[in-house]
Amino acid sequence: MPVDFTLTPEQAAAREAMRDFAITHLSKVEAAIAPFATPEERVRAIKPFFREMVRAGFMKSIIPVEDGGTYQGLLDMVISGEEASIGDVNVTCALFSCALALSPIITHGTREQRAQFLAPFLVDDGAPLAALAFSEVGGTANFDDPDPNAGSQTFAYRDGDEWVISGEKFFITNGWGWDGEGADLFVVSARTDPSVPAAQSLAVFAVPRPTQGLSFGKGLDTMGHRATPSPRIRFDEVRVPLANMIGKPGDGVQILSQTFAASGVGVAAEAVCVMRQAFEAALAFSKSDRRNGSVPIIEHQNVGYMLADMKMRLEAARYLTWKAAHYFDTTNGEGTELAVMAKVYCSEQAVQVVYDAMRLVGIESYADEMPFARLLKDAMAFPLYDGGNMGIRRRVLHKALASANYDHLAACEGRAPSKY
C-alpha cells in the first residue's frame, strides 16, 4: 500500500468540525478567564465551554466505538486534535486529561469495569471530569525506581474487600472538579506493597466520586494554562472496592507507559497547533508591516529564512505526529517509540518556534495584543508536563536504545518492537 497522507472524507470532516468549534467557542476563552485572579475562578469560567465541547460530541470522541463512543484510533484523534488548541489550551487540556485518565480503563479494564466507569462520560450534555492522579509532590520521574524505599509514595493496602489509598498528588488536571469537591472519577496510581518496587507493586485504581478522605490544598498558580487547575490533593484512607483495581499489582508501570505514549501524541498535536498559530501571526505581520522601512519586513532575507525554518519544523512535527499515531494504532499500542519522540520533539520545537516568531516580529511581539506571550507561556508546559522530557521521556528512549533487542528500523517499517 502506498504511503498516502490524503485524509479520508471522515477525517477531513472531523478536522473541520474541530476547527469550527475552536474558532467559534475556544477563541473566546481568553477573554472569559481574564478578569479572574485565582485558578479556581478561572476553572469555573471555562465550565460552559467544556459543556459545549461535550454537546458537540468531543467527550464521546475519546471513548472507543466498542464501548459506546466514537473514537476510531489515535491517528484520527490527532488529525482533528491539531485544531483543538486554536485560541485556548485550557478547555482542550481538560478534555485530553479526561482521555488520559480513562485510558487505563479503556486499554486494561475488564468489560464490567469499562461499562461501569465509562458510562458517566458517554453523555451528550453535562460536564463530567476524569482525572489521572499520578504525579506526586515529592517527585514523579522516579516513580518506578527499583529501590522499594524510593519511587511512588502513594500506597494502597487491602482491608477486607476494599483497597485503602493514601498519599499526596499534585498538578492533577481536573482533580479539583468544578467545585472543589473532586473529579467525577479519579484514576489513581499507588503501590500495594512498600517492601517491593513499582515493577511488582504499582497498581491503578478507579476512584469514583463521592469520595471520603479527599482534601485539597490551594491551587497552584501557573505561568500558562491559566484555567487548568493544579491542586495538591491528599488521599487519606480513601476506600474503593477490590474490583476497582485496573489490572493487578505491578501492571501499573506498563499501563501508565502505554497511557502516556498515547497522551504524548496528543501533546505533540497541541504543540503543532501552537507552532501553527505563531507561524501564521509572524507571516501575517512580516507581509503587512514595514517597521517604518520602505518594504514589508518579509523582503529582508533574515525574515524570509526564519519563516522558512519555522515552517520546516512545523511540517516535520506534524508528520512525525501522524506517523507516531499510525504506528501506535497499527501495533495495538505496543509501538510507542515514535509517540515518545513526537512528544519530546514537538513540545520543544513549539517553544523554539514561538520564540523565533517573537524574534522575527520584534518588540511588538512582547505586547499582549499579539498572541505570542500567551502561546509561549502555554507552550512552556509542553516539554514539562505529561511526563517531563528530561526526567521521564528521554529516559524511556535511552532505555530502549541501550537494550540489546533494540531494532532501530522497527518503527519505520511498522513492526511491533521487541520487549526492552
Using CB under 6 A, pick the residue from 182, 197, 335, 387 that binds ligand FAD: 387
44 binds ligand FAD (CB under 6 A): no
- Do residues 350 and 277 lie in contact, with contact meaning Cβ atoms separated by under 8 Å? no
68 binds ligand FAD (CB under 6 A): no
Nearer Cβ to ligand FAD (62/361): 62
Using CB under 6 A, pick the residue from 57, 120, 194, 388 that binds ligand FAD: 388
Using CB under 6 A, pick the residue from 49, 58, 171, 322 that binds ligand FAD: 171
CB 397 → ligand FAD: shortest distance, Å?
12
Size of the site for ligand FAD (CB under 6 A): 26
Residues 328-367, one symbol each (x = binds ligand FAD by CB under 6 A, - = not), give: ----------------------------------------
DSSP string, 183-247: -SEEEEEEES-TTS-HHHHEEEEEEESS-TTEEE-PPPP-SS-TTS----EEEEEEEEEGGGEES
CB 140 → ligand FAD: shortest distance, Å?
4
- Do residues 338 and 412 lie in contact, with contact meaning Cβ atoms separated by under 8 Å? no
Of residues 228-257, those binding ligand FAD (CB under 6 A) = 228, 230
Residues known to be catalytic? 386
Nearer Cβ to ligand FAD (333/387): 387
Residue with cell 502555554: 378
Nearer Cβ to ligand FAD (109/151): 151
Using CB under 6 A, pick the residue from 80, 92, 135, 286 that binds ligand FAD: 135
Q: Which residues fall within 8 angstroms of residue 229, CB to CB, at 6 or more apart?
A: 39, 40, 43, 173, 174, 175, 176, 219
Residues 136-155, one symbol each (x = binds ligand FAD by CB under 6 A, - = not), give: ---xxxx-------------
380 binds ligand FAD (CB under 6 A): no
CB 110 → ligand FAD: shortest distance, Å?
23
Residues 190-229, one symbol each (x = binds ligand FAD by CB under 6 A, - = not), give: -----------------------------------x--x-
Nearer Cβ to ligand FAD (188/358): 188
Of residues 94-133, those binding ligand FAD (CB under 6 A) = 97, 131-133
Cell of 293: 522601512
DSSP string, 363-383: GGGGSTTSSHHHHHHHHTTTT
Our separate counts of H helices and E strands in the chain read 13, 8
CB 93 → ligand FAD: shortest distance, Å?
6
- Assess whether the previous peptide bond of 210 is cis (omega < 30° from 0): yes
Provide the CB-side half-sphere exposure for 336 (13 A, CA).
23
C-alpha 34/C-alpha 2 separation (Å) is 48
CB 168 → ligand FAD: shortest distance, Å?
12
Using CB under 6 A, pick the residue from 386, 396, 400, 417 that binds ligand FAD: 386
- Do residues 204 and 146 lie in contact, with contact meaning Cβ atoms separated by under 8 Å? no
Residues 392-411, one symbol each (x = binds ligand FAD by CB under 6 A, - = not), give: x--x----------------
C-alpha 202/C-alpha 2 separation (Å) is 42
The neighbouring-strand residues paired with 281 are: none
Provide the CB-side half-sphere exposure for 11 (13 A, CA).
15
Q: Which residue is nearest to ligand FAD (CB)?
A: 388
Ranges assigned E (strand) in 55-194: 130-133, 155-159, 162-169, 185-191
Cell of 102: 480513562
The neighbouring-strand residues paired with 246 are: 204
Nearer Cβ to ligand FAD (225/318): 225
CB 164 → ligand FAD: shortest distance, Å?
20
Q: What is the binding site for ligand FAD (CB under 6 A)? A: 97, 131-135, 139-142, 171-173, 225, 228, 230, 381, 384-388, 390-392, 395
